[in-house]
C-alpha cells in the first residue's frame, strides 16, 4: 500500500488562481497573514499528516474500537499519539479567534489542511472537524462567561466537541427530537435524552468532550421552533479551570459500520440519573439557528471528505497502474507485458479521477473563501454578496463532492482489478469510508432540497443568476480565438442549459421542484466543475507564457478532458430536472413490488 503524498502544488495552484489568497489575506483581520507563510505552513502540515497521521489509517480500520462495561471507548494507541502531536503542533487552531488561542488565519487555509487530514485518515479527522464546527456555533452564540471557560480548549483541540442532534425518530427531521431540558435552581440547566450516531461521542483521546446537544425546554413549541442548544461537558469544569466531577453523560452503545471504523459512532445517554448539567447556548428555542452556523461549516468539510478520499484513492490507483503489468499495450514491444497505465481504458479511469478531483477542490476552496469574505470584506455589500455565494454553493459542495467521492473511490477499486476487492490492498477502505459522506450532515437528498427550495430563491433568484453570469463571463472570455475557444463554447452551451433548468425550477410547483432537485444539483455541480477548470486552464496558459513550470500544461489537458468527457453529463441530467413529480409517482405505490 502506498503512502499519502500531500498534493501541495495543486492546493497552492487553487489558492493562488481560484481563491486569490493574496487578495483575501489583505482583508481586515488577516493583516498578519502572508500568502507565502500560508504555503510554507501547509507544506509543514502536509509532511506531518503524511508521516504521522496517514500511517494510522489502516491501523484504525483493522483494529477499530471497543466499548467496555463502564462506557469507555478504546481508540488505537497510534491515533491517540497522533492526536496529541496534532494539538501540540497547533494545527487545530489555524483559523480560531486569536483572543482564544487561535492563529486567526483564513478559513480556506483550514480547509486546505482539512483536505489533507481527511486524506490521511478520515475517521481520525472527524474529531477535529466536528470540534472546529462546534467552535463556529459557539463563538457566535455562546455567552462571554461560557466562552471564557470552554472556547480556548476547543479551539486548540485540547478538548474535542460533538454535535448531538440525531435521535432514533429524528434524523433528517430534526424537529421531531424529544430530548428534554429544564432549568436548575443555580442558573444552569439539566438535559435528559438519548442521542444516536454521535461521532466521537466518547473516547480518551482528549481530556474532556464538550457535547453540543439539541433539546426542548419546557413549553417549547413543536418542531424546529422549539429546539434549544446546550453545552454539555463530559467532565464538569471547576472555577479554577481544572476538571471536576464526571457529568451524567454516558456512551451506551457503539455502532458497527461499513467504514470509518476508527471513528466512534456512539449511542449517548444524557442525564439518565439526575439530568446532565447543561449550559444554554444562545436563546431558548433558537437552537436551530445556532446549529445552522455549525452545520454549514460542517457541510463544507463533509464535502471535503469526498475530495480527500478521492485523492488518496487516486494516488494509490496511480501507483498500482504503474506497477501492475497485464497484456500488451498497442505499440509495446513483443513478449513484454505492459504496465496497465498504458491501456486506454485505465488512462480514462485515472483521468476521470484526476479531472473531477481538481474540479471538486476548486469548488470547495471557492466556497470556503466566500465564507471568509462574508466575514472580512470591507463593505456590508461585499460581505452580504459573499455570504450569499457561500450559501448557494455549500449544498453543491457537500452533495456533488460526496457523491463523486463514492464514484471516484469506486473507480480507484476498479483500477486495482481483483486486488481492489481485497482488503489488504487498501483501496476498498477508501470506498467504504466514503459511503457515509452522502448520508450524514444532511443527506444529499436534503442538500438538493436546500439548493432548490432555499438557495435558488435567495434575493429573488439574483444570487444564482449572478453566479451563472460569472460563469458566462469566463466562457465568453475564452470563446474568441485562442487554444481554449472550443472549451468556452461547450461551457457556454452548458450554462445556457443550466439557466433554463434554473428558471424552470424557480417557477415550478413545489412537487415538481422537489422531484427535480437531485438531478439539478448534479447538473449544477458538473457545470461549475467545468467553469473552475477553464479558469484553471486560463491561469496555467498565462503562467506558461511567462515561463512557468511545464507541469502546468496538465491543467489545460485536464480541463479539455473534463469538458469533452464529463461536462456532457450535465445535459444528460437536465431532462430529469424538469420531468416533474407525475413521472415519479406514475406507478401506484402498491405496484412498486
Ligand X SMILES: Cc1cc2nc3c(=O)[nH]c(=O)nc-3n(C[C@H](O)[C@H](O)[C@H](O)COP(=O)(O)OP(=O)(O)OC[C@H]3O[C@@H](n4cnc5c(N)ncnc54)[C@H](O)[C@@H]3O)c2cc1C
The residues annotated with a catalytic role in the active site are 441
- Judge whether 200 and 152 are in contact, CB under 8 Å: no
Which of the residues 217 through 236 are near ligand X (CB under 6 A)?
Answer: none
* Cβ-based nearer residue to ligand X, 64 or 442: 442
Question: From the CB of residue 421, how many other CB atoms can be counted at a distance below 10 Å?
Answer: 13
Query: Which residues lie below 8 Å from residue 222, measured CB to CB, with a gap of 6+?
Result: 175
The region of 80-88, 180-188, 391-399, 434-442 touching ligand X under the rule CB under 6 A is 434-442
Q: Does residue 324 bind ligand X (CB under 6 A)? A: no
* Cβ-based nearer residue to ligand X, 280 or 448: 448
Nearest distance, CB of residue 340 and ligand X, angstroms: 34
* Cβ-based nearer residue to ligand X, 232 or 353: 232
* Cβ-based nearer residue to ligand X, 374 or 518: 518
Grid cell for residue 267 = 449511542
Q: Does residue 302 bind ligand X (CB under 6 A)? A: no
Q: Are strands 180-183 and 228-233 parallel, antiparallel or unpaired?
A: unpaired
Residue found under cell 444552569: 188
Nearest distance, CB of residue 214 and ligand X, angstroms: 8
- CA angle (442, 467, 494) in 5-degree steps: 90
Q: Does residue 165 bind ligand X (CB under 6 A)? A: yes
Q: Residue 28 gets which letter from DSSP?
A: T
Which of the residues 344 through 383 are near ligand X (CB under 6 A)?
Answer: none
- Judge whether 162 and 130 are in contact, CB under 8 Å: yes
* Cβ-based nearer residue to ligand X, 407 or 472: 407
* Cβ-based nearer residue to ligand X, 179 or 284: 179
* Cβ-based nearer residue to ligand X, 440 or 532: 440
Q: Does residue 309 bind ligand X (CB under 6 A)? A: no
Sign of the CA dihedral with 88 first, then 90, 92, and 93 last: positive
Output the CA torsion 438→444→446→451 (10° steps).
140
Q: Would you give the distance in Å from CA 205 to the centre of its chain? A: 23
Partners of residue 67 on adjacent β-strands: 73
Nearest distance, CB of residue 83 and ligand X, angstroms: 17
Please report how the helices 427-434 and 56-63 are oriented relative to each other, as an axis angle in degrees rounded to 10.
Answer: 70
Q: For ligand X, what does the binding mask look like between residues 439 and 468, x meaning CB under 6 A? A: xx-xx-xx--x-------------------
The region of 163-171, 182-190, 426-434, 493-501 touching ligand X under the rule CB under 6 A is 163-171
Q: Does residue 163 bind ligand X (CB under 6 A)? A: yes
Query: Which residues lie below 8 Å from residue 87, measured CB to CB, with a gap of 6+?
Result: 156, 157, 158, 206
Query: Which residues lie below 8 Å from residue 148, measured CB to CB, with a gap of 6+?
Result: none
Interacting residue with ligand X among 213, 232, 311, 436 (CB under 6 A): 436
* Cβ-based nearer residue to ligand X, 61 or 366: 61
* Cβ-based nearer residue to ligand X, 152 or 305: 305
Size of the site for ligand X (CB under 6 A): 19
Nearest distance, CB of residue 417 and ligand X, angstroms: 29
539 phi-psi bin (left φ>0, alpha ψ -120 to 50, beta other): alpha
Interacting residue with ligand X among 12, 58, 84, 257 (CB under 6 A): 257
Q: Whose CB is nearest to ligand X?
A: 171
Interacting residue with ligand X among 7, 60, 76, 171 (CB under 6 A): 171
Nearest distance, CB of residue 172 and ligand X, angstroms: 3
- Residue 519: name the closest of 445, 460, 464 by CA: 445
The region of 103-111, 193-201, 338-346, 391-399 touching ligand X under the rule CB under 6 A is 193-201
460 phi-psi bin (left φ>0, alpha ψ -120 to 50, beta other): left
Interacting residue with ligand X among 129, 154, 164, 577 (CB under 6 A): 164
Nearest distance, CB of residue 365 and ligand X, angstroms: 25
Query: Which residues lie below 8 Å from residue 310, measured CB to CB, with a gap of 6+?
Result: 353, 356, 357, 360, 404, 405, 408, 409, 412, 430, 434
- In angstroms, the first-to-last Cα distance of the chain is 44
Nearest distance, CB of residue 174 and ligand X, angstroms: 8
Q: How far apart are CA 75 and CA 205, in angstroms?
A: 7
Interacting residue with ligand X among 137, 198, 349, 359 (CB under 6 A): 198
Interacting residue with ligand X among 56, 118, 133, 265 (CB under 6 A): 265
Q: Does residue 166 bind ligand X (CB under 6 A)? A: yes
Nearest distance, CB of residue 126 and ligand X, angstroms: 8
Q: Does residue 2 bind ligand X (CB under 6 A)? A: no
Q: How far apart are CA 445 and CA 440, in angstroms?
A: 11
Nearest distance, CB of residue 404 and ligand X, angstroms: 18
Q: Does residue 199 bind ligand X (CB under 6 A)? A: yes
3-state SS, residue 397: helix
Q: How far apart are CA 305 and CA 441, in angstroms?
A: 12
The region of 192-200, 224-232, 354-362, 407-415 touching ligand X under the rule CB under 6 A is 192-200
Nearest distance, CB of residue 579 and ligand X, angstroms: 16
Grid cell for residue 326 = 497485464
* Cβ-based nearer residue to ligand X, 164 or 508: 164
Nearest distance, CB of residue 178 and ligand X, angstroms: 14
Question: From the CB of residue 257, how many other CB atoms can be counted at a distance below 10 Å?
Answer: 16
Which of the residues 461 through 500 are near ligand X (CB under 6 A)?
Answer: none
CA-to-CA separations, 515 to 392, 510, 591, in angstroms, rounded: 19, 8, 20
Q: Does residue 172 bind ligand X (CB under 6 A)? A: yes
* Cβ-based nearer residue to ligand X, 46 or 76: 76
The region of 99-107, 159-167, 245-253, 458-466 touching ligand X under the rule CB under 6 A is 159-167
Q: Give the 3-state secondary structure of 400-433.
A: HHHHHHHHHHHHHHHHCHHHHHCHHHCHHHHHHH
Question: From the CB of residue 59, how many other CB atoms can be counted at a distance below 10 Å?
Answer: 16
Question: From the CB of residue 330, how many other CB atoms can be counted at a distance below 10 Å?
Answer: 8
Binding site for ligand X (CB under 6 A): 163-166, 171-172, 197-199, 257, 265, 436, 439-440, 442-443, 445-446, 449
Amino acid at each position: 500500500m502506498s503512502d499519502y503524498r500531500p498534493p501541495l502544488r495543486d492546493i497552492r495552484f487553487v489558492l493562488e488562481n481560484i481563491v486569490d489568497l493574496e487578495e483575501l489575506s489583505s482583508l481586515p483581520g488577516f493583516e498578519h497573514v502572508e500568502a507565502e507563510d500560508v504555503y510554507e505552513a501547509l507544506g509543514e502540515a502536509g509532511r506531518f499528516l503524511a508521516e504521522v497521521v496517514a500511517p494510522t489509517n489502516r491501523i484504525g480500520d483493522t483494529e477499530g474500537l471497543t466499548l467496555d462495561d463502564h462506557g469507555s471507548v478504546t481508540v488505537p494507541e497510534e491515533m491517540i499519539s497522533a492526536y496529541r502531536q496534532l494539538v501540540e503542533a497547533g494545527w487545530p487552531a489555524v483559523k480560531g479567534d486569536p483572543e482564544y488561542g487561535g492563529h486567526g488565519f483564513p478559513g480556506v487555509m483550514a480547509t486546505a489542511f482539512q483536505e489533507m487530514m481527511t486524506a490521511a485518515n478520515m475517521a481520525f479527522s472527524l474529531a477535529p472537524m466536528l470540534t472546529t464546527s462546534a467552535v463556529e456555533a459557539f463563538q457566535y452564540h455562546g455567552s462571554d462567561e461560557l466562552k471564557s471557560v470552554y472556547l480556548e480548549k476547543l479551539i486548540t483541540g485540547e478538548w474535542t466537541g460533538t454535535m448531538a442532534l440525531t435521535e432514533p425518530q429524528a434524523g433528517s427531521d430534526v424537529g421531531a427530537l424529544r430530548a428534554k431540558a429544564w432549568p436548575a435552581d443555580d442558573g444552569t440547566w439539566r438535559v435528559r435524552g438519548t442521542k444516536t450516531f454521535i461521532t466521537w461521542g466518547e473516547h480518551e483521546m482528549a481530556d474532556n468532550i464538550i457535547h453540543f446537544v439539541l433539546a426542548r425546554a419546557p413549553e417549547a413549541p413543536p418542531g424546529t421552533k422549539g429546539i434549544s442548544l446546550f453545552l454539555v461537558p463530559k467532565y464538569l469544569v471547576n472555577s479554577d479551570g481544572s476538571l471536576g466531577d464526571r457529568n451524567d453523560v454516558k456512551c451506551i452503545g457503539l455502532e458497527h459500520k461499513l467504514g470509518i471504523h476508527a471513528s466512534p459512532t456512539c449511542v449517548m445517554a444524557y442525564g439518565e440519573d439526575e439530568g446532565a448539567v447543561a449550559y444554554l447556548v444562545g436563546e431558548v428555542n433558537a437552537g436551530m439557528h445556532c446549529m445552522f452556523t455549525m452545520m454549514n461549516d460542517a457541510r463544507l468539510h463533509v464535502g471535503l471528505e469526498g475530495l480527500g478520499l478521492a485523492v488518496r484513492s487516486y494516488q494509490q490507483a496511480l501507483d498500482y497502474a504503474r506497477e501492475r503489468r497485464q497484456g500488451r499495450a498497442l505499440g509495446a514491444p513483443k513478449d513484454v507485458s505492459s504496465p496497465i497505465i498504458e491501456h486506454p481504458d485505465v488512462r480514462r479511469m485515472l483521468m476521470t479521477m484526476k479531472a473531477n478531483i481538481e474540479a471538486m477542490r476548486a469548488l470547495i476552496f471557492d466556497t470556503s473563501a466566500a465564507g471568509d469574505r462574508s466575514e472580512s470584506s470591507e463593505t456590508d455589500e461585499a460581505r452580504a454578496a459573499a455570504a450569499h455565494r457561500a450559501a448557494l454553493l455549500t449544498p453543491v459542495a457537500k452533495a456533488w463532492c460526496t457523491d463523486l467521492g463514492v464514484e471516484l473511490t469506486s473507480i480507484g477499486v476498479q483500477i486495482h482489478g481483483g486486488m481492489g476487492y481485497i482488503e489488504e490492498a487498501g483501496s476498498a477502505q477508501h470506498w467504504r469510508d466514503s459511503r457515509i459522506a452522502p448520508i450524514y450532515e444532511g443527506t444529499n437528498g436534503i442538500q438538493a432540497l436546500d439548493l432548490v427550495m432555499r438557495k435558488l430563491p435567495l434575493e429573488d433568484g439574483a444570487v444564482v443568476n449572478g453566479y451563472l453570469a460569472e460563469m458566462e463571463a469566463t466562457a465568453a472570455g475564452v470563446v474568441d480565438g485562442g487554444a481554449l475557444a472550443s472549451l468556452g463554447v461547450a461551457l457556454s452551451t452548458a450554462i445556457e442549459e443550466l439557466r433554463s433548468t434554473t428558471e424552470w425550477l424557480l417557477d415550478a410547483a413545489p412537487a415538481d421542484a422537489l422531484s427535480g432537485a437531485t438531478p439539478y444539483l448534479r447538473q449544477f455541480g458538473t457545470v461549475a466543475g467545468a467553469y473552475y477548470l477553464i479558469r484553471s486552464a486560463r491561469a496555467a496558459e498565462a503562467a506558461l507564457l511567462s515561463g512557468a513550470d511545464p507541469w502546468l500544461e496538465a491543467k489545460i489537458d485536464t480541463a479539455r478532458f473534463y469538458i469533452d468527457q464529463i461536462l456532457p453529463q450535465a445535459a444528460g441530467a437536465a431532462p430529469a430536472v424538469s420531468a416533474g413529480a407525475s413521472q415519479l409517482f406514475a406507478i401506484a405505490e402498491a405496484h412498486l413490488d
